[in-house]
Every structure is written in structure tokens, then in C-alpha cells.
């Protein structure tokens, strides 16, 4: 773990604040200060804290991670993240490795793991315990950043190894269920794609439930089991995430961004935006541009 920490520290030093390095599904994170809440859209990934402390809220479920702790995100879902502990002397350091779900399923088929009952629903996000072989594989993946030409050739082999250690590790049962995502869970995941593609449109829970071939109450319950949030909260966070991107890039002003992501009332948009990001839209966009610049 110390060697992995040293690698991330060296790779991110002087490279900017927060998203310090990003290539081929691997993102290294650094922050010299605590950071206010921020909506992040996670794709399936392993998220590891190496130094400092961070909290991630998935609906009502808040998961905190300190040094050496990790989250596995198995379904694409928005989260409100917050760096809780960081300073210039001891910056927050972490990494996010996007998981190749096809590789995860291939490795699962090659090893002897009993099938879980189809009706089993485990959360789409959970903590994983890291053992030495998994940490070593992550260290070698990060080390490839120093020889980027080797990453496309050697990266896939290390990804297979990471998938293997995840599947046979202490959290292997949950990882297996996420890899399979069969039956009702698969139906919920299919409707997540609809929400992501049509987040700016009015979408009713009854339409989503019909798409999943479930009753509205069963759909709502299963959706929350998997994502820890409701369909409407999921959609709202997608809207705010996209609105922030539009504002920071300068593509839209506050009112046009609100309408473009599906809000009818700019004042409601400003209230919900301020609640999510800690600042009103215009001020937040200026602050984010200064950070990136």
C-alpha cells in the first residue's frame, strides 16, 4: 500500500487539483484541501482512498472511506462525493479504476463460484476489503502510467488479474452478483440506461416499471435496493451533473442550462443546484473554471 501511495503522490504532484491524471479508465485524484459536496457520475469502477478521507452519498446511503478502504461501484450511478480530510501537508490521494465488466464476467465464468439465486439483489455499490495481491495488481496498473506506451498492451492482463482477486476476495459474493446482474436486477439496469439517455424528459415511474415488466411498487423497491436512491432522485442528479458541465464549459447560461436539462423553473433549478454543490449556479461555475484553470 505504501508503494502504491508513493506512486500516486509522485504522479499527481504539481499536476493540478483533484483530477490530476486520467488515462484509459484510470483516474488519479489529489486535493490539498477539504472539498464541498460534488455530484459525480460513476461508471462501474473500483474507487480507492490512499490518504485522507472521503464520503460518497448514494441517495440516503452514505459510505465513508479512509486510507486503504475502497468502494466498488457496479452500476452506473450518480453520487454526491465530499473530501472530508485533506491538507497541503497530507493531501487527499485516491484512484478510480473503471472496471471492464465484460472481462469481469469472462473471469467469473472461468472460476468455480456457485451461482447466486436469481432473486438475490445486492447493492450496486459496496465497500470491498483489499488484500495484498489486489493491491499489488493496482500498484502495477498505476506504474504503467510511467510507460504509457505499455498500457494498451499490458493493461488488459492486469485488469483480468484485478477482476480475479475481486471475485475470490472477501467481498467476492457481492462482486459476483454485480457481474451477473441477472433477472430482476438486469431489468432495473436496463431502465437506468433509459434514464441516462432521456434524463431531460419527463419520465414516469409507471413507464419505467412497465419497461421492466414489474409492478410500480416492486420496481421502486428493487431500484432503491440496487442504487440506494429513487428513480426521480437518480434523474435529478443526472440533470444537475449535466447542468454543471454546461455552465462550467460556458455552453449555456443559468436559465438556458436549466431548460436544457429538463427544468421548467429556473428558480427551482437554482435552489436544487445550490443544495447539491454548495453554491448558486453562476458562482459555482466561476469557481470551477478557476480551479480547472
Sheet holding 92-98, edge to edge: 18-23, 26-31, 92-98, 45-51, 70-73, 125-128
134: cell is: 489486489
Measured CA to CA, the distance from residue 71 to residue 50 in angstroms comes to 12
- As a whole-number percent, the residues of the chain with pLDDT over 90 amount to 60
Specify the pLDDT at position 194: 92
Specify the pLDDT at position 39: 85
37-to-65, 98, 209, 246, 277 alpha-carbon distances in Å? 15, 22, 31, 18, 6
Q: Domain total for the chain?
A: 3
User: Based on the domain organization, do 100 and 133 belong to the same domain?
Assistant: yes
| Cβ-contact 246, 252 below 8 angstroms | yes
Specify the pLDDT at position 18: 58
Specify the pLDDT at position 217: 92
pLDDT band at 16 (very low <50, low <70, confident <90, very high): low
* Range list of β-strands (E), the chain: 18-23, 26-31, 38-42, 45-51, 53-58, 61-65, 70-73, 77-85, 92-98, 125-128
pLDDT digits (tens, 9 = 90+) for 162-180: 999 999 999 998 898 888 8
User: Based on the domain organization, do 49 and 108 belong to the same domain?
Assistant: yes
Q: What is residue 141's three-state secondary structure?
A: helix
pLDDT digits (tens, 9 = 90+) for 209-238: 999 999 999 999 889 888 889 999 999 999
User: Based on the domain organization, do 248 and 222 belong to the same domain?
Assistant: no
The phi, psi pair for 95, rounded to 5°, reads -145, 150
User: Based on the domain organization, do 139 and 221 belong to the same domain?
Assistant: no
Specify the pLDDT at position 276: 85
User: Based on the domain organization, do 223 and 89 belong to the same domain?
Assistant: no
The phi, psi pair for 42, rounded to 5°, reads -90, 130
CATH number of the domain that 195 lies in? 1.10.10
- Residue 278 burial (CB count, 10 A): 15
- As a whole-number percent, the residues of the chain with pLDDT over 70 amount to 92
Residues 6+ apart with CB under 8 A from 151: 23, 24, 144, 145
Picking from 158, 176, 194, the residue at the C-terminal end of a domain is 176
User: Based on the domain organization, do 168 and 40 belong to the same domain?
Assistant: yes
Residue with cell 504522479: 11
Report whether pLDDT(240) > 70. yes
The phi, psi pair for 33, rounded to 5°, reads -150, 160
Specify the pLDDT at position 44: 93
CATH number of the domain that 248 lies in? 1.10.10.60
Give 232's Cβ-side CA count (13 Å radius): 5
Highest mean pLDDT among 15-29, 181-195, 231-245: 231-245
CATH number of the domain that 97 lies in? 2.60.120.280
User: Based on the domain organization, do 5 and 148 belong to the same domain?
Assistant: yes
146: cell is: 510511467
User: Based on the domain organization, do 96 and 168 belong to the same domain?
Assistant: yes
| Cβ-contact 16, 10 below 8 angstroms | no
User: Based on the domain organization, do 217 and 261 belong to the same domain?
Assistant: no
Sheet holding 61-65, edge to edge: 38-42, 77-85, 53-58, 61-65
Domain assignment of residue 225, given as a range:
183-229
pLDDT digits (tens, 9 = 90+) for 113-139: 665 555 555 678 999 989 999 999 999
Specify the pLDDT at position 94: 95
Residue-wise over 68-93: b if at least 16 C-beta within 10 A, else e? ebbbbbbbbbbbbbbbebbeeeebbb
Measured CA to CA, the distance from residue 293 to residue 282 in angstroms comes to 17
pLDDT band at 243 (very low <50, low <70, confident <90, very high): very high
pLDDT digits (tens, 9 = 90+) for 58-93: 888 899 999 999 999 998 889 989 999 999 899 999
Report whether pLDDT(146) > 90. no
Amino acid at each position: 500500500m505504501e508503494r502504491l501511495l508513493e506512486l500516486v503522490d509522485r504522479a499527481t504532484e504539481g499536476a493540478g487539483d483533484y483530477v490530476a491524471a486520467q488515462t484509459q479508465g484510470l483516474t488519479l485524484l489529489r486535493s490539498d484541501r477539504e472539498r464541498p459536496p460534488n455530484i459525480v457520475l460513476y461508471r462501474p469502477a473500483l474507487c480507492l482512498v490512499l490518504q485522507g478521507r472521503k464520503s460518497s452519498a448514494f441517495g440516503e446511503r452514505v459510505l465513508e472511506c479512509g486510507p486503504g478502504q475502497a468502494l466498488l461501484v457496479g452500476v452506473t450511478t450518480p453520487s454526491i462525493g465530499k473530501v472530508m480530510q485533506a491538507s497541503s501537508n497530507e493531501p487527499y490521494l485516491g484512484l478510480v479504476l473503471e472496471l471492464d465488466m465484460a472481462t469481469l464476467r469472462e473471469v467469473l465464468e472461468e472460476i468455480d463460484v456457485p451461482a447466486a439465486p436469481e432473486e438475490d439483489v445486492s447493492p450496486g455499490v459496496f465497500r470491498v476489503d483489499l488484500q495484498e495481491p489486489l493491491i499489488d495488481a493496482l500498484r502495477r496498473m498505476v506504474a504503467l502510467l510511467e510507460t504509457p506506451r505499455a498500457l494498451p498492451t499490458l493493461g488488459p492482463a492486469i485488469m483480468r488479474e484485478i477482476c480475479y482477486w475481486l471475485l475470490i476476495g472477501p467481498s467476492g459474493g457481492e462482486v459476483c452478483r454485480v457481474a451477473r446482474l441477472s433477472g430482476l436486477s438486469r431489468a432495473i439496469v436496463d431502465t437506468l440506461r433509459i434514464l441516462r439517455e432521456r434524463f431531460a424528459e419527463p419520465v414516469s415511474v409507471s413507464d419505467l416499471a412497465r419497461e421492466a415488466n414489474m409492478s410500480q411498487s416492486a420496481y421502486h423497491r428493487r431500484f432503491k435496493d440496487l442504487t440506494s436512491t429513487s428513480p426521480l432522485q437518480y434523474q435529478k442528479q443526472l440533470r444537475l451533473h449535466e447542468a454543471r458541465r454546461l455552465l462550467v464549459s460556458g455552453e449555456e447560461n443559468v436559465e438556458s442550462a436549466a431548460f436544457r436539462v429538463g427544468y421548467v423553473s429556473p428558480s427551482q433549478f437554482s435552489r436544487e443546484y445550490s443544495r447539491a454543490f454548495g453554491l448558486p449556479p453562476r458562482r459555482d461555475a466561476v469557481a470551477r473554471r478557476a480551479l480547472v484553470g
